[in-house]
Structure 1
Amino acid sequence: MKLMDIYFSLKSDIDVVERRLHDEVHTPQRNLKKASTHLLKAGGKRIRPIFVLLAGKFGNYDVDRLAKVATALELMHMASLVHDDVIDDAALRRGAPTVKSEWGNRMAMYAGDFIFARSLVLLSEVPNVQVHQLLSKSIVSMCEGEIEQIRDFYNVDQNLRTYLRRIKRKTALLLSVSTTLGAMVAECKRETVHALERFGYYAGMAFQIIDDILDLTATPKKLGKPVGNDLRQGNLTLPVLYALQHSPERDVLRANIHRDMTETEAQEAIRIVRSSGGLEYAHRMADRYMEKCLHALTKLPQMEATRQLTAIAHFINERDH
């Protein structure tokens, strides 16, 4: 089963989410509207909405209720990207200029805040206290993760545990929340909610590790941003941390990673990481998370939605962009 087959099978419901996304970022403030719709027009995989919708298949499927959750979580994801681009001073996102580069830091921060606020307004329509409690705790954890990431920029002495905690908060948490809330809103059984929560978490961990690999291996055209962009910005990912520990040239790598890194130093650092075995190590780590992800699916009823989640898991681990 291909990813496009899954999109096609859910097309009418994904279209509901897409329309709601456009409706939610509408505002009479012209510049704010332009900035807020800028990233929306660039598209995206819509993994979070798909996770919400597929999780809902295991319970009482109501597209209106699920679309509210799916839209709200995608808006949160979009808001975090807008804020990330300000923090990272990023010029490109998905091959297009970022909100920050088009309108400046101030407008980007307000646009991110606006999108985030719209997501909360939409979620307030979901009459389930547990949904709001889970999401509130998750937002706190995500914010703490962002602060920790900023703290560790260019920190060549950080360890694996720090990295794994960071990507849990940065990526895995929102994917786990997507499957969990989809199941909760669909009134699934407790064991089903738990299995989907674990699936989302492990899929999210694998997703971010693959992202970190692609940052060092994919072409700029596929990435939509320069190769090694994370490294240049001081965000030291799993392959880099491995190289800092195991490469014969680790002392050179440590010397090259600093806030005033030149392009020559960045290219040298990327070469050392690629030759260190770090990429292979990261792939093995992603494979382990994917095994756990697929194991979580064995706890679910074997139906079409289970097969679709299995296909998405394989896509996450095998994608090239």
Structure 2
Amino acid sequence: MEKMKLKILYSDLKADIDIIEKELEKALNSSSHLINDASLHLLQAGGKRIRPVFVLISAKFGQYNIENIKNIAVPLELIHMASLVHDDVIDDSDLRRGRHTVKSQWNNRVAMYTGDFIFARALEYVTSIENKKVHQILAKTMVEICNGEVIQIEDKFRNNQNLKDYFRRIKRKTALLIESSCELGAVVSGVDEKNVRHLKQFGYFVGMSYQIVDDILDFTSTDKELGKPAGSDLLQGNITLPILLLKDHPTIKHFIAQASKGQVTEQQRLEMLNVVRNSDAIKQSIAISNGYLRKALKEVDALPDHPMKKKLRDVALFIGKRKF
């Protein structure tokens, strides 16, 4: 049902999303059968295509030309895909969206080279864009994403981190790429600087809300809905917002200690989920996510009258209220 709502929300952009989907398939084609198979395995797992959609919507505020815009929408989604492949190696994840990850289907070495190949393809696509600012924004984004991946490794099972650490981490993990999607869609289509800033800020606030909701759903959704065990983030040592708000709870402290040794039982996982789901941490996390959402909507209000303003609001509200 939720996925159907998303398709309806994007329906008027479907033709251009289909173009981007075909370009993604083309971009992932490799002379190496192994990398080709691994890349297509990732593509066929699907996804919400949030980043290309934000490129398209932001570009609508300027001179919209899908042939130009696809050359930034495709690499942004490729960067996202590459980071997922690397994340699964870092987190030792066997499942994503209910399917085997590249590292699980093949191995860590294949996964790392596949991620590198996808990153390289992203860079290759951007060479067709002459605007120097586009290259600068994208390069900075990629550097920060890589920094974020390393910081995530350093922060694993570190229970003395604070909210500032968490917000800095999810900015690099998620918000920055959504921010760049909005900014670059606007820059490529020639939107004036003032409105580029509003769209960029909108992307940042929506991206923060998006990741917080993701972190909440990891505890509140079922294993079937997630396509992986609920609480996987904590099992892998990622201390997210609901856990930060509960880190002094004895059950949570014991769980983190056991998880860091790889000694968690199924009963302990269920007990941990019960504590989180029945705590105020979920409500508090939702409130923080909604705070970012309100800031995103203020940025939309500051944009000039345009049919796409409603689209931005609708997508933002869907992201902030989604159940998957």
Q: Above 0.5 in TM-score? A: yes
Q: CA deviation at 1:256?
A: 4.3
The one-letter amino acid paired with 1:62 is: N
1:286-297 pair list within 5 angstroms: 286-297=289-300
Q: CA deviation at 1:259?
A: 3.2
In structure 1, C-alpha distance between the alignment counterparts of 2:256 and 2:66, rounded to whole Å:
51
Match status 1:59 vs 2:87: no
In structure 2, C-alpha distance between the alignment counterparts of 1:206 and 1:196, rounded to whole Å:
15
1:2-21 pair list within 5 angstroms: 3-21=6-24
The question of whether the paired residues in 2 share the 8 Å contact of 1:244 and 1:250 is answered with yes
Q: CA deviation at 1:146?
A: 1.0
Of 99, 121, 125, the residue aligned with 1:118 is 121
Aligned with 1:40: secondary structure? helix
Aligned to 2:203: 200
In structure 1, C-alpha distance between the alignment counterparts of 2:98 and 2:269, rounded to whole Å:
21
The one-letter amino acid paired with 1:210 is: V
Aligned to 1:311: 314
Q: CA deviation at 1:274?
A: 2.4
The question of whether the paired residues in 1 share the 8 Å contact of 2:156 and 2:239 is answered with yes
Aligned to 2:177: 174
In structure 1, C-alpha distance between the alignment counterparts of 2:67 and 2:36, rounded to whole Å:
25
Q: CA deviation at 1:257?
A: 4.6
Q: CA deviation at 1:270?
A: 2.5
Q: CA deviation at 1:251?
A: 4.9
The one-letter amino acid paired with 1:103 is: W
The one-letter amino acid paired with 2:260 is: H
1:28-177 pair list within 5 angstroms: 28-177=31-180
In structure 2, C-alpha distance between the alignment counterparts of 1:152 and 1:272, rounded to whole Å:
23
In structure 2, C-alpha distance between the alignment counterparts of 1:252 and 1:235, rounded to whole Å:
15
After superposition, the C-alpha distances for 1:80-128 in whole angstroms (9 at most, x for unaligned) are 0011111111111111111111111111111110011001000111111
The question of whether the paired residues in 2 share the 8 Å contact of 1:168 and 1:204 is answered with yes
Aligned to 1:283: 286
* Percent of residue pairs identical: 46
In structure 2, C-alpha distance between the alignment counterparts of 1:170 and 1:261, rounded to whole Å:
27
In structure 1, C-alpha distance between the alignment counterparts of 2:253 and 2:30, rounded to whole Å:
52
The one-letter amino acid paired with 2:87 is: D
Aligned with 1:244: secondary structure? coil
Q: Where do 5+ consecutive residues of structure 2 fail to align?
A: none
The 1:271/1:189 distance shift into structure 2, 3 A limit, reads: same
The 1:42/1:158 distance shift into structure 2, 3 A limit, reads: same
In structure 2, C-alpha distance between the alignment counterparts of 1:176 and 1:129, rounded to whole Å:
18
Match status 1:236 vs 2:230: no
The question of whether the paired residues in 2 share the 8 Å contact of 1:257 and 1:269 is answered with no
In structure 2, C-alpha distance between the alignment counterparts of 1:47 and 1:222, rounded to whole Å:
19
Moved more, 273-282 or 92-101: 273-282
After superposition, the C-alpha distances for 1:127-148 in whole angstroms (9 at most, x for unaligned) are 1100111111111111111111
Match status 1:260 vs 2:262: yes
The question of whether the paired residues in 1 share the 8 Å contact of 2:243 and 2:252 is answered with no
In structure 2, C-alpha distance between the alignment counterparts of 1:251 and 1:76, rounded to whole Å:
35
The one-letter amino acid paired with 1:298 is: D
Q: Where do 5+ consecutive residues of structure 1 fail to align?
A: none
The 1:233/1:242 distance shift into structure 2, 3 A limit, reads: same
After superposition, the C-alpha distances for 1:148-206 in whole angstroms (9 at most, x for unaligned) are 11101011111000000000000000000000000000010111100000000000000
In structure 1, C-alpha distance between the alignment counterparts of 2:52 and 2:101, rounded to whole Å:
22
The question of whether the paired residues in 2 share the 8 Å contact of 1:215 and 1:229 is answered with yes
Moved more, 38-47 or 258-267: 258-267
After superposition, the C-alpha distances for 1:211-269 in whole angstroms (9 at most, x for unaligned) are 00000011222212111110100001000010114x47565455445232312333333
Moved more, 130-139 or 262-271: 262-271
Of 298, 301, 311, the residue aligned with 1:298 is 301
The one-letter amino acid paired with 1:46 is: R
The question of whether the paired residues in 2 share the 8 Å contact of 1:220 and 1:227 is answered with yes
Q: CA deviation at 1:68?
A: 1.1
In structure 2, C-alpha distance between the alignment counterparts of 1:291 and 1:236, rounded to whole Å:
25
The question of whether the paired residues in 2 share the 8 Å contact of 1:52 and 1:182 is answered with yes
The one-letter amino acid paired with 1:81 is: L
* Aligned alpha-carbon RMSD (Å): 1.4
